[in-house]
Amino acid sequence: MGNSHMLCLFLLCLIGGEDVVKGVKGLGCNWGTQSTHPLQPNIVVQLLKDNGFNKVKLFEADPGALRALGRSGIQVMVGIPNDLLAPLASDFQAAVNWVQQNVSDYVSRHAVDIRYVAVGNEPFLKTYKDTFLHTTFPALKNIQAALVRAGLAKKVKVTVPLNADVYQTDNGLPSGGNFRSDIHDLMISIIKFLSDNDSPLTINIYPFLSLNADPNFPKEFAFFNGSAAPVVDGSISYTNVFEANFDTLISALEKNGFSSMPVIIGEIGWPTDGDPSANAEYAQWFNQGLLNRIFQGQGTPKRKTPPDIYLFSLIDEDDKSTLPGNFERHWGIFYFDGTIKYQLNIGNGKSLVPAKGVRYLGRQWCVLSPTASITDPSLASSISYACTYADCTSLGYGSSCSRLDPRQNASYAFNMYYQTMDQRIGSCSFNNLSVITNLNPSQGTCRFEIMIDLGKHEIAPRRSLAGKIQTSTMGVILALILIIYGFF
């Protein structure tokens, strides 16, 4: 999610509140950049345009992405990471500098159509344990004041993308909605400030996480086909968790005097790998259902007009933290290289089209040698090493590569490391257990990747792979070892 969680992809006809909040029809999505082999920004912008997206949400002011978005006709929401909230909260000049460098300069020099600044990303998540509780609102106020000083406040609106766990229901029904008691007063202060400045409230809703977190959750209630047993709330019957979740928020706003507050859905989608419930079939089912609602102009029982919504996400990101789950790296409707995972009807009889102009490394893979034994004592440590520095989440239980045999498991791990290291000489050396092959070892739903050739694209410098040790979980490595030895 934009690194987040909770209830309830593609996106939709945007129609909302005032000024820029009141709107324009279009498709919106999130563009995350936590990838070891990112697509060139110009290729991503063309991918957006080719698929009808005219609104995009960035999680940070990435220079390459912002420059590429200049004069593109795409409206931009640019994010401020949580680790910047404290300095922006404590120093107004820091906020002025941030707006100048990341908003004013791109608007004036590159003609980027920035419409929103997202201050923080789900800063009140319970898992953050109040880390950003005292800095989010001051940072929000300073950024707003800095936009006023820059003469941009009428066009560029502030917002705070929040996880749906900022509200709850006392009676288990949407009508019981209210904001969490521990942050109630703070939420009301933030909402009033946004309202006073004609700015929207932004909420992320994830039906996938509702289904994933509760083994007893009725599967049909996560989707939009209307076949779920309804949840009856007075005169209203809810047949999907998205409507129930969204109307819980609307009830909370109504209870606190903000019944007409504009709301944006900042993230919503379905992952395709890393968990038994994360697969292309479910993702297509969910996202096509969401699109159909938007095309039909269908809102919720409490808000008949569809909210502005940003699909999460455009492309997969193999460098994201897996702490929320292995699925975290697989939210894209496109793979990391802009190829299509599954088709969607995006309106007017059009279907998705893949990225153009992508250059790849050589057509070769690193695999377990035919002469190597799976009982070799160094095999487990070699796999563990490979999966510390490369993404092995597709090997987990119920994932796209979970049905590989022990030899194929090892080959997958070795190849992911080899590709992540740009097929460099020596990167397919695992204690004499591996060889390079020109035969594609992909099996069924399991893709043995070839990475993008970064040397053939002009892109920003890559981050060090050393940081992946922090985002890789030992659970993935241990699961791999157990899978292998489980076949002995």
**Cis bond upstream, residue 313 (ω within 30):** yes
| Residue 295: φ, ψ to 5° | -60, -30
Q: Say which residues have a Cβ less than 8 Å from residue 486's Cβ, sequence separation at least 6.
A: none
Residue 280 structure tokens: 């292309």
**Range 386-413 burial, b when 16+ CB lie within 10 A, else e:** bbbbbbbbbbbeebbbbebebbbbbbbb
Residue 324 structure tokens: 């929320």
Beta bridge partners of 311: 29, 268
Q: Is residue 355 within 8 Å of residue 47, measured between CB atoms? A: yes
Task: Compute CA distances 293 → 202, 246, 405, 423, 462, whole Å.
Answer: 20, 14, 42, 45, 39
Strand 236-238 versus strand 231-233 pairing type: antiparallel
Question: How far apart are the C-alpha atoms of 418 and 423, rounded to whole Å?
Answer: 5
Residue 474 structure tokens: 């030992």
Q: Which residue in 122, 243, 328, 449 is the catalytic one?
A: 122
Query: Is 267 annotated as catalytic?
Result: yes
Q: Which residue in 60, 220, 254, 267 is the catalytic one?
A: 267
At position 435, the amino acid (one-letter code) is: V
Q: Say which residues have a Cβ less than 8 Å from residue 222's Cβ, sequence separation at least 6.
A: 8, 207, 208, 210, 211, 240, 241, 286
Residue 226, Ramachandran bin (φ over 0: left; ψ between -120 and 50: alpha; else beta): left
Indicate which residues carry an active-site annotation.
122, 267
